[in-house]
Structure 1
């Protein structure tokens, strides 16, 4: 956003250079990218290019910037004064020519609308001071009426609607939802179709504006205009953003409304606009200010604890300084206690609604540079490395799964013997344990896998409308081998999403597999297991399955359940050898590996291979052939579709390069990528599509 230094000084008395002001603004979070010297007419000016984050809508105006500057300069001991734009000579000679009314149908979309009518205006070119002021920030002057509305918008931050009164039918303005499809010819020479998702400003016959952000083309103010209606509103920012995106409307009004304007400044902004129009043209006031504000937006109430400030900032700031900063920011102290304050934050500060936001404001004005940073950085290893008890390990992993949205299930250890359980036991060389005197003949065997209980729970949930499955279970399995009774503990995890749309099912197929695999890898990372291998495996009930091995011993079996269990949806299942996992963690030692002093670089490789070739096969091949400089390999994209041959699929794989000894050059990485290309072609028949950084 462009801010004129000369314009800024109309509201704040400062004897500092534009460069110094830009430095101070940057220090308080309003980053100034550049300061440009500019000659406007006979006057020298400096234009500050300020980067204002979307949450700081209060600073999207010259007065908003001046208000922030006043707070920080006063706190730093500068003698300065903040002057609000003049409305003291607001015209009082009202000649009520119209009996005009404003109606708001949806009070959630339009919280406030203020209006005013001026008559006998003279539409001409603007005076030099107004032309120069707008030109300084890159706005092209149009005429004195439009220029003043643009001036006020950049001065106070509120868009001003202006309509030709002689084009308004029925002496009323209605802010309402669109009920039936209508066509709207907007002032940017585009014809838009509006529907029930939109709301408009209209008279009794026709629409005048889409949500106050763009007007109807025939309502432009020109030399023939003699009477005008001025409006200033507060619209729901989310509705404005939705309408702006849907209809591709890019106006300054949308830019401000969708970020949130000051709802309590609409009447003031109208008075300021009327004052300036009266200054440049001989006009009459033809109405009182009409103000529709059925549900006023109250200030935010926040409890501010002194100890919390100290805990977050890391430095104790005196209570006197804290209260001074709050008052400079126009934050009212409602109640004082020994350990806390109860404050009221004005509605225009939409970014300050929590205690932590308020503390950020205090630190912003107090000064980030006053917070001393230790020259030493203390880093503690993850506490999970030291969890040696089974209970703490289990709590850590279960909390992680719950944070990913999983729910724990508990199944009974007794099952009904069937051909699937017999097949599974045969495959793993196990003998089922039968119950000699079962109380229920349907449950006559001890479970030898957690899989069948998981399948029952998924079906139970699908039948009752739960379409998204994220389950885990820890439990023992029981079996005989070589005449010995054995029991082992496993952790099973299932992930699925039911959808009748076959196209979506195909899209989910790959993403859910990698989601589940990624969750398991995140668990490993959390508990310090890094050096594991992955190989393609076979399982009687899993398709496209892989085994994750640690020191050549199976740790995880992962894959997609075969179609004979679920026909209409993809279910992905993993089983972790819990006892082996606990053993690995308890035996593992913490080893410090220095961070590389040299940067990491990434290269992406896209290629086509046969559908039968899995990512695991590609991964293992690359790791075997080239591992010196490649720190990490990740799948970036997998695509199968109409644009490719039926028997092919497309992979995009990301390679992360890093060296402990030197900065890698483009040539070094290029040579490695060429080797990878060569053996992918030779050993997998891959067709290379491209390399990118």
Structure 2
């Protein structure tokens, strides 16, 4: 949110404060100022331009269309200036650009004034026209001023240009009350204890009743209060400069004097308004209601939208004119042809506006405020303020009584507060007078009061203050966090358990491992399409968490798996010729099981394309299962997981793969995705995928890490070749090895596999490497041979293996 410091000064006196001091005060109250930017109404701020008086004016001896002048620019000095304007004459007050000044002309590039000779005559400056200094478009002649300002006076003083500073406030969602200049001024009023000067509406008068439009509210839940009036015989044109500059300063583009007036009030008071072309209100009736689901409505951005059953609409007798509190329609807006205006100032239900804005993907200045909660008590004041302004700059007459439909006034919030809790939560005992003064400055009145506490009466525009803790927070932020002294000894109501592991550090560590292995991290949307569960048997449709206020049909449920989120990313990249991809994501899966909702934190890894690009020395190599397996085992090693069970995967998610489990619980599933899964996101290349149960991994990491001294005795390697049935896996061999020899064995691995006609169709040969080591002494051949014989005997008896010698 942008706040103009000059505009803010219209309501509260901050002239004695620098922009940085105002910024610091606002930040201390919770309105964090994220940046300060200087704003110039005219580019360059007219720096270097002064008022001058033409002392002499003679024709140039060598050019008929040029004049040679001397100009008094103050301080007792005069400059020779050659001027080409036909209207220059002695005795005139003019705008002079001195040597070194940079001019910013309208529609042209900036240029610097230099001392020059023009047809032999010295010129030390420039007498300026409107367009040459950027304040207008006219180039008919130089500007001739009617002023008593002395020569040498800065031109910015004549044009009343004050430098402005724009505060960029990072408005938190709970502070809807501060989404305006007066809302921001209220916090300064409280912290500086200075009054706010609200614009007067005492001049508001009804000129006639010539333009009556009937209003009815059929949905009072969606629109608790609706205020309106009409203005006739307006002239729609460009806004005056002061109004355009106000809007430009906060980044808004001026449109016309009527629309600019409503935008001005919005950013002044925080109350959205809407101006309709009264001649387009068919039947002279305005009806606030919902339309049947599926009704079509074309908004101002010329997009046709299908309405939901709870989309509140402002309608005439025949059709919708505006999505209430969100966006106007194409037919009823104010244009240059508009002569009569129907002006709306309403309070719409935040729930209605929020759901409608989210469904249609519309975020406007009006919806931003309505969906957080505006002030229901300000609608008539804002209406009068806007009507006075429109009448002033658009002309016309107020041609109806104020319509104000407010059947059930919204009550103030009432909260019981105790002094004991104020002092406990703030950490300091505050004087009761200080507490009362702060609350009164915040428009929070004190109801019933006792020695123990009081009842706080909170206006409805403070939607964020509805609990005792909220009231105490209001007291503290105005009193000042910096004014609460740090005690010698800290105390707390409870002591937090310190986790054995730092989950964030572990996640960062794994992220660095993957990034160092060439992977890129992705962050995807938790919302996904229900069609994935419909076409995948490993997902259960009845466990979908369905979003009630869905953004679209493709984002209707929360995901049960990260696989499709990652495949969408791969598809997006492959469509842009990025086929070699290594991706990972830490994300959450969501399930509805029985009557409860469950979440699971997962780590997903995706690999597709080539393992390495081709170059002058190596050919491109396509990714294989073992490329993924290597990464999976690196992560397990990171968690010191050395022992695990391994079983093949048999479901429709994978073409082939493995489940690795610890204590009979799966820790990771990985393999090549089935092509019918990839087909759902139009991926034709094979994709390798690993799915870690991240929460289980973290629990496994909590087990105590044991260390032992590195042996000073050497390792011994022995190789063994086995012929076994094809149905036997290396995991079967590894389990027997670890069971039979866990004292000397340090490592067992496969370094070659052979299958061929010589062995038969149902046989394969494994070449195994065994690493043996004793912690206490050097191994002898006798011990090594005895160990290997014991292992060979087990392989022959339990696996039916044939030992190749």
TM-score band w.r.t. shorter chain: 0.5 to 0.7
Q: Does the 8 Å CA contact 1:98/1:171 hold for their aligned counterparts?
A: no
Task: Please list, as runs of the form range in 1=range in 2, the aligned pairs for 1:5-84 lying within 5 A after superposition.
Answer: 5-14=5-14, 15-41=16-42, 42-74=161-193, 80-84=194-198
Deviation of 1:48 after TM superposition, in Å, equals: 0.5
1:100: which partner in 2?
A: 213
Matches within 5 A, 1:396-411: none
How many angstroms apart in 2 are the aligned matches of 1:638 and 1:192? 44
Pick from 265, 268, 272: which aligns with 1:159? 272
Partner residue, 2:437? 324
Structure 1 position 213, deviation (Å): 1.6
Larger displacement relative to structure 2 (339-348 or 187-196): 187-196
Structure 1 position 291, deviation (Å) = 0.4
2:212 touches 2:230 (CA, 8 Å); kept in 1?
no
- Deviation for aligned residue 1:86: 2.4
Q: CA deviation at 1:282?
A: 2.1
Q: How many aligned positions are there?
A: 450
Q: Secondary structure of 1:264's match?
A: coil
Distance 1:503 1:379, change over 3 A: farther
For the residue of structure 2 that corresponds to 1:30, the secondary structure is: coil
Which residue does 2:90 correspond to in 1?
A: none
**Do residues 289 (structure 1) and 407 (structure 2) align?**
no
CA shift at 1:168, angstroms? Answer: 0.4
* Residue 187 in structure 1 maps to residue 300 in structure 2: yes
Q: Distance in 2 between matches of 1:82 and 1:107?
A: 33
CA distance in 1, matches of 2:330, 2:273: 17
Shift of 1:371: 1.5
Q: Structure 1 CA distance, aligned partners of 2:236 and 2:324?
A: 25
Name the CA shift for 1:253/1:637 in 2 (closer, same or farther; >3 Å): farther
- Note if contact 2:321-2:332 (Cα within 8 Å) is conserved in structure 1: yes
Match of 1:643 in 2: 677
C-alpha distance in 1 between matches for 2:263 and 2:431: 43
2:376 is aligned, of 263, 271, 274, to 263
1:215 corresponds in structure 2 to 328
CA contact (8 A) 1:118 1:286 kept: yes
8 Å CA contact retained: 2:353, 2:370: yes
Shift in CA distance, 96/316, structure 1 to aligned 2, threshold 3 Å: same
User: What secondary structure sits across from 2:3 in the alignment?
Assistant: strand
| SS state at 2:378 partner | helix
In structure 2, how many angstroms separate the alpha carbons of the residues matched to 1:384 and 1:237? 40
- Shift of the alpha carbon at 1:102? 1.2
Q: Secondary structure at the match of 2:352?
A: helix
Matched-pair contact (CA < 8 Å) for 1:606–1:651: no
| Counterpart contact for 1:211–1:240, Cα < 8 Å | yes
Question: Could you tell me the TM-score, scaled by structure 2's length?
Answer: 0.51
Provide the secondary structure at the position in 1 that maps to 2:283. Answer: coil
Which residue number corresponds to residue 260 of structure 2? Answer: 147
Query: Closer, same or farther in 2 for the Cα pair 1:636/1:205, shift >3 Å?
Result: farther
639-648 or 171-180: which moved more? 639-648
Question: How far apart are 1:229 and its partner, in Å?
Answer: 0.3
Aligned equivalents of 1:345 and 1:384: distance in 2? Answer: 38
CA contact (8 A) 1:606 1:653 kept: no
Asked if the contact 1:609/1:650 (under 8 Å) is kept, the reply is no
Candidates 281, 295, 303, aligned match of 1:168: 281
CA gap of 1:619–1:309, structure 2 versus 1, over 3 A, is: same
Q: Is the 8 A contact 2:34 2:169 kept in 1?
A: yes
**Change beyond 3 A, Cα 1:305–1:570:** closer
Residue of structure 2 equivalent to 1:592:
none
Specify the SS of the correspondent of 1:110: coil
CA distance in 2, matches of 1:168, 1:94: 21
TM-score by structure 1 length?
0.59
Kindly report which structure 2 residues correspond to 1:361-372, keeping only aligned pairs within 5 A, or say none.
Answer: 361-372=474-485
TM-superposed CA distance for 1:241, in Å, is 1.2
Q: 1:539 aligns to what? A: none
Structure 1: gaps (5+ residues): 75-79, 386-500, 513-568, 573-601, 628-633, 659-678, 686-693
- Asked whether the 8 Å contact 1:38–1:44 carries over to 2, the reply is yes
Asked if the contact 2:39–2:164 (Cα under 8 Å) also holds between the matched residues in 1, the reply is: yes
Tell which has more relative contact order, 1 or 2 (C-alpha 8 A, sep 6+): 1
Question: Are the aligned partners of 1:333 and 1:342 in contact in 2 as well (CA < 8 Å)?
Answer: yes
Shift in CA distance, 299/380, structure 1 to aligned 2, threshold 3 Å: closer
- 2-side partners of 1:331 and 1:176: how far apart? 34
CA RMSD of aligned residues (A): 4.0
The answer as to whether partners of 2:314 and 2:320 remain within 8 angstroms in 1 is yes
